[in-house]
């Protein structure tokens, strides 16, 4: 497999979704993995674009059939990544971006090599709380649960190779794009993609 699998994790409110949109615009060659979930769609979300929304029984069927590369329970809902889709895209020499939490990232690390993992951090707990409130989509109780979950998520930051502090959005977006571009230029990946050219030029 010549494609690279990039894992991106972050607590709710860290700005991950906006950063991913900026990355995909700057690097259209990166393919975003669309996860399966049992949670209901939020306003504006589209099935097949944001997530594959499935019922709990359907998710369970897929899990038992071994269709997921990883799966996890987040905020009471189940999420999973299609193993077949990931393997197919990597085999086609395509770079894939996978948005998952630390639990899923740990599962994928055990199963695959050559993964590049990135963690997005908010600049402070105060800013994180303000961002969650600004969404105006969740109740105070849900926000409190998300803040507690965020603390748990951020306690696993040391398991990742790269950390981006999303204080200034434009700078954070440039940092994320820079990581993708730098990883593509590593010698083993350049040899896999341009080995003939490199060997001719020696």
Q: Rounded distance, CA 66 to CA 88, Å?
A: 16
Residue count of the chain, please give it: 202
The yes-or-no verdict on residue 42 having pLDDT over 80 is: yes
CA distance 182 to 177: 9
pLDDT digits (tens, 9 = 90+) for 76-126: 899 999 999 999 999 998 999 999 989 899 999 999 988 999 999 999 988
What's the average model confidence in pLDDT over 184-200? 86
Q: What is the pLDDT, as a whole number, of residue 136?
A: 56
Helix axes 140-154, 125-134, angle to 10 degrees: 140
Q: Higher pLDDT residue, 132 or 138?
A: 132
Q: Residue 150: its pLDDT value, please? A: 87
pLDDT in tens, 49-59: 999 999 999 99
Q: Which pairing describes strands 68-74 and 77-82: parallel, antiparallel, or unpaired?
A: antiparallel
Q: What is the pTM of this model?
A: 0.86
pLDDT at 174 exceeding the cut of 90: yes
Q: In angstroms, rounded to a whole number, what is the distance separating the alpha carbons of residues 177 and 13?
A: 20
pLDDT at 38: 97
Predicted confidence at residue 154, as pLDDT, reads 94
CA distance 103 to 68: 14
Instruction: Tell me the CATH class for 5-201.
Output: alpha beta
For residue 135, pLDDT beyond 80: no
């Amino acid at each position: 497999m010549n494609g690279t699998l990039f894992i991106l994790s972050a607590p709710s409110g860290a700005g991950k979704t906006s950063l991913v949109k900026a990355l995909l615009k700057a690097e259209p060659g990166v393919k975003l993995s669309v996860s399966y979930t049992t949670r209901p769609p939020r306003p504006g979300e589209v099935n097949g674009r944001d997530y594959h929304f499935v019922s709990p029984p359907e998710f369970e069927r897929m899990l038992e059939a071994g269709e997921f590369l990883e799966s996890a329970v987040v905020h009471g809902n189940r999420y999973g990544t299609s193993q077949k889709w990931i393997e197919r895209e990597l085999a086609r020499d395509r770079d894939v971006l996978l948005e998952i939490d630390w639990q899923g990232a740990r599962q994928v690390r055990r199963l695959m090599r050559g993964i590049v993992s990135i963690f997005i951090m908010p600049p402070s707990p105060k800013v994180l709380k303000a961002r969650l409130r600004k969404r105006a989509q969740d109740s105070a109780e849900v926000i409190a649960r998300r803040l507690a979950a965020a603390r748990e998520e951020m306690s696993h930051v040391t398991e990742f190779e790269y950390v981006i502090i999303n204080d200034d959005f434009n700078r954070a977006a440039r940092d994320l794009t820079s990581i993708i571009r730098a990883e593509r230029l590593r010698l083993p990946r350049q040899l896999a993609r341009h080995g003939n050219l490199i060997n001719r030029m020696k």
